[in-house]
Amino acid sequence: MEESRSLPTGFGELEVLAVGTLLLVEALAGLSLNSLTILSFCKTPELRTPSHLLLLSLALADSGISLNALIAATSSLLRRWPYGSNGCQAHGFQGFVTALASICSGAAIAWGRYHHYCTPLPLLGWGHYDYEPLGTCCTLDYSRGDRNFTSFLFTLASFNFLAPLFITVTSYRLMEQKLRKAGHLQVNTTLPARTLLLGWGPYALLYLYAAVADVTSISPKLQMVPAIIAKTVPTVNAINYGLGSGMVQRGIWQCLLPQRSRWDRTS
């Protein structure tokens, strides 16, 4: 919308005022109610449980939507968009992200409540957890191979492994193409996908085998290999994302050598 005081096409003065007023009421009501929810979490320690934290996530997301509506209401009452093209991009992005967060939080709450009230399964109601073969750590009990495990496995593989892997590979592939054309390829575009594939791929293969065959035919030592490999992922990520960032490196040096850091800033 152009930054002029002319009314939008197809809208009269009264209609613009009505839309702005409605958005303002919705924004203030949403901010007020969600602020109360957020405040209750700050004041009531008993609410800080995993299941209730989904409510906090939803309240924060909905507060973002209400804030987005407040900006829209202000613009409607002004009869123009006063924040320019960049402001429009930021407003649209913020509204889109908070809407997705609200949708996902609502779905998570619905799923958790369904299994809480309708099934006797543990935690969020899906899957069962047991010791690793070594007996010193726990993971999803893949030895059962029942319908509950199989449904959990394929959903987990689709949304928490294949989908993130696809997003990671695609994002870095597109980034590599663009940066290579510009001659500024300074980011390792292959390590994140390799880390995800090599770090969690063995677990995925073990779970897939457990869904179609008798996992007890695999030796306990071999069953422990995926767990050992997966526990290297945090170190690799720290090196890639943390130590690979110049800003993080400067922060680390400031913590280790504060005197030298102050001298560098004053010199």
- Residue 100 φ/ψ region, left for φ over 0, alpha for ψ in the -120 to 50 degree band, beta for the rest: alpha
- In 71-205, the DSSP E strands lie at 129-131, 138-140
pLDDT higher than threshold 60 for residue 204: yes
- What pLDDT does 247 receive? 54
- Contact yes or no for 55/36 (Cβ under 8 A): no
Spatial neighbors of 121 by CB under 8 A, at least 6 apart, are: 115, 127, 128, 148
pLDDT higher than threshold 80 for residue 27: yes
pLDDT higher than threshold 50 for residue 212: yes
pLDDT higher than threshold 80 for residue 112: no
CA distances in angstroms from 164 to 58, 159, 171, 243, 254, listed in the order given? 22, 7, 10, 23, 34
- Count the Cβ atoms, other than its own, within 10 Å of residue 53: 13
Extract long-range pairs of 229-233: CB within 8 Å, 24+ residues apart: 229/198, 229/199, 229/202, 230/199, 230/200, 230/202, 230/203, 232/199, 233/195, 233/199, 233/200
Which segment, 40-44, 131-135, 168-172, 178-182, is predicted with the most confidence on average?
A: 168-172
Confidence of residue 162 (pLDDT cuts 50, 70, 90): confident
Count helices and strands in the chain by DSSP H and E runs:
10, 2
Least confident span in 49-58, 123-132, 173-182 = 123-132
Give the chain's mean pLDDT: 75
Instruction: Give CA–CA dist 100/60, Å, rounded.
Output: 12
- Count the Cβ atoms, other than its own, within 10 Å of residue 223: 20
pLDDT higher than threshold 60 for residue 87: yes
Instruction: Give CA–CA dist 188/240, Å, rounded.
Output: 8
Instruction: Give CA–CA dist 78/147, Å, rounded.
Output: 58
- Count the Cβ atoms, other than its own, within 10 Å of residue 81: 20
Comparison of pLDDT for 162 and 202, the residue scoring more? 202
Q: Read off the pTM.
A: 0.52
- What pLDDT does 186 receive? 67
Average the pLDDT over 201-229 and give the result: 86
Instruction: Give CA–CA dist 58/63, Å, rounded.
Output: 8
- What pLDDT does 3 receive? 42
- Count the Cβ atoms, other than its own, within 10 Å of residue 22: 13
